[in-house]
Structure 1
Amino acid sequence: MAADEESTPGTPRPAPLAPLPDHRNVDTPWWQELWRRHAHITTPLRERGLECDIGFGLSAYVVSVSLPDDSYLIISPPQEPSSDRPPGDPEGWIVTHEHPDDQSLFEVLYDSAPSDAPAAAQRPEAHHGGSASPLVEAIDHHLTQLGLLLPHPVSSTRTPHPLPATPTRHPPEAPEVSNTANDGAPAYVHGDALRALTERINGTESHGDAAALLHQILEPTDGLLTQLGEFFEAAGEKAKEAEEDDGFDLSYDLADAAAEIRNLGEVLHVVEDRMRALTPLAPAPRTTSTQGRPPSLPPRIPSPAQPRHTR
């Protein structure tokens, strides 16, 4: 019987998971999508009783892990320069151990991110790349040595947690953009595309349709706002290539612009749901035109002429 099988001695049971974060973003689609993309990292850690959350770091989404002594781990993809891979599937992971009240506690305990510097010494874990299993093992070892985690045998009943099978979408090759149209007038292909989107939201007949258009702008991984931030960041990297003071100054300005755009996305992340929750749009009342032309104004009465003074 099932009850007997569950109580059979020696049958390993999956460990209970640590609770989800307690904030309003947990119920939003964009956060749930990020959580799903990082489940291969967060689930093994939650099996160990460690509470995890996802937020935005310097230039990418990171996993934060709360520890019993009030310190925390930050698990992130490469951020300087940032990774161009999808969230949850970077070319490598960097794990740091930090404490909010003790700035001296800052330790890089894992770094599998590739380095472009030929003279830079590679860490032993560099060959693991974006694999999650060795990352979790390194965290296990580090926290066990500090007495912050009991040794955790891997459960044979719980299935592994690979990255969900979501096909990686590679952006199409950007077409060559000319600054002039066939008739010699300036051509702004991307501006025209956004203008068309604006016209669509002006002509939409429901809040659901308007929310769908907002999704195109505000989706946190592939939306227009996120890609606009990536664009300014790429422009900043291009400015650095000049290796001039003005190039570096320009790169800082462009990096600030990218950060502002990302912050705007964080502020506006709930507007799609708020738009969808609004009441249906009422049809605009039709204005009835009056028959015929309106009566013309009466002719203006000329002002009386001033009397002449004669001698």
Structure 2
Amino acid sequence: MAADETTTSEPGQVPLAPLPDHRNVHTPWWQELWRHYEHVITPLRARGLQCDIEFGLSTYNVRVSLPDDSYLVISPPHDPPSERPPGDPEGWIATREHPDDQTLYEVIYDSAPSNDPGAPRRPEARHGGSTQPLIEAIDHRLARLRLLPHPVLPHDSAHVPPAQPSASPEARHVPGTPHRGPRYVYGDALRDLTDRLNGAESHADAAALLHQILEPTEGLLAQLGEFFEAAGEKAKEAEEDDGFDLSYDLADAAAEIRNLSEALQVAESRMRALTPLAPAPRPPSTPANASPLAPRALPPPSPKGAPPARRTP
């Protein structure tokens, strides 16, 4: 991946903020997500704002770092989650938050359709999934907050390049090369989900990640069952005995995965209902300058009876 995307080679083009610095930048799945969101990311990078792709409660979001250490989260609808492809939602939601100030939560833009007929309709809802009004709203708000490093003038907008991460040769060649091991794109994606689970700050966050795995129709286990079933059908196409035997094994695997999914259907709600355990109280420690306890007095020994006198004949 090009490391110098903060500059542009063609005169008149707007320099872009640097790419994020983490290992996922070089993975094909992350680069694919970046391409889906580049029509949102590139205008923001042209304004000097560093962007990243992160997984939220149920969707992939664009996270935008701001100069005051707050950040923007730009996401598709998540309650219920959008069923449209990444980067092409029914609407956009942009919020401003701060990692150290939980009271800072500001909705800058919300064009997502509302499921509540009684809720007031936000004026930007008419724009739906259009990107230009979203960028204009972010421009306006950040300019008022003096958090826009490089405002883009109207005559500059035509020179914003359609930037996207350029995949390195090994990233393009997913199956592997003679000199490097194979790249497991989907394993990397699941590993990222596991990392997020390990770093979850609450059981509710952990439950939301479990939802990605256990959702009955679109979750990972459901799709994994579909995958093995499709693999079984593909094995049958060989019309050989071993192909039919393999198809039966793969069908059994699909059935076991579906059984596992059904057995864990309540795991998400059980996780969400958990509360952190309070630390056990520690017994009070004895101060260093406290006088030691006096030794316990032993009871006096019981008197022994005199031996009986010997009788003389």
| TM-score after normalising by structure 2 | 0.51
Query: Which structure has the greater CA radius of gyration?
Result: 2
Q: Secondary structure at the match of 1:114?
A: coil
**CA distance in 2 between partners of 1:141 and 1:116 (Å):** 28
**CA distance in 1 between partners of 2:115 and 2:211 (Å):** 25
1:142 is aligned to 141
**CA distance in 2 between partners of 1:40 and 1:161 (Å):** 8
Q: Secondary structure at the match of 1:31?
A: helix
Aligned residue type for 1:57 = G
Contact kept? 1:232, 1:257, Cα under 8 Å: no
2:122 is aligned to 123
Q: Secondary structure at the match of 1:126?
A: helix
C-alpha distance after superposition, 1:134-179 (max 9, x if no partner): 100000000000111154213254267599xxxxxxxxxxxxxxxx
1:253 is aligned to 266
1:153 is aligned to 153
Aligned Cα RMSD in Å?
Answer: 3.9
Contact kept? 1:21, 1:53, Cα under 8 Å: yes
2:216 equivalent to 1:231: yes
1:196 is aligned to none
Matches within 5 A, 1:1-311: 13-149=12-148, 151-154=151-154, 155-158=156-159, 229-231=214-216, 253=266, 255=268
C-alpha distance after superposition, 1:169-204 (max 9, x if no partner): xxxxxxxxxxxxxxxxxxxxxxxxxxxxxxxxxxxx
Q: Secondary structure at the match of 1:38?
A: helix
**Count of aligned pairs between the two proteins:** 188
Which stretch of the first structure deviates more once superposed, 83-92 or 22-31? 83-92
Q: In the TM superposition, what is the alpha-carbon distance from 1:116 to its structure 2 partner? A: 1.6
Percent of aligned pairs with the same amino acid: 58
Q: Secondary structure at the match of 2:79?
A: coil
Aligned residue type for 2:28 = P
C-alpha distance after superposition, 1:100-141 (max 9, x if no partner): 111111011100000121111111000111111110000000
Q: Secondary structure at the match of 2:159?
A: coil
Aligned residue type for 1:56 = F
List runs of 5+ in structure 2 lacking aligned partners: 1-9, 165-174, 191-209, 220-262, 273-313
**CA distance in 2 between partners of 1:119 and 1:32 (Å):** 40
Aligned residue type for 1:153 = L
CA change 1:219–1:90 in 2 (3 A) is same
Q: Secondary structure at the match of 2:117?
A: coil
Contact kept? 2:13, 2:161, Cα under 8 Å: no
**CA distance in 2 between partners of 1:36 and 1:256 (Å):** 34
2:7 is aligned to none
**Higher normalized contact order (CA 8 Å, seq sep 6+, divided by chain length):** 2
**CA distance in 2 between partners of 1:161 and 1:131 (Å):** 17
Q: Secondary structure at the match of 2:32?
A: helix
Contact kept? 1:76, 1:95, Cα under 8 Å: yes
**CA distance in 2 between partners of 1:258 and 1:79 (Å):** 20
List runs of 5+ in structure 1 lacking aligned partners: 1-10, 164-205, 235-249, 260-311
Q: In the TM superposition, what is the alpha-carbon distance from 1:81 to its structure 2 partner? A: 1.2
CA change 1:257–1:28 in 2 (3 A) is farther
CA change 1:136–1:254 in 2 (3 A) is farther
2:236 is aligned to none
**CA distance in 2 between partners of 1:258 and 1:63 (Å):** 27
Q: Secondary structure at the match of 1:69?
A: coil
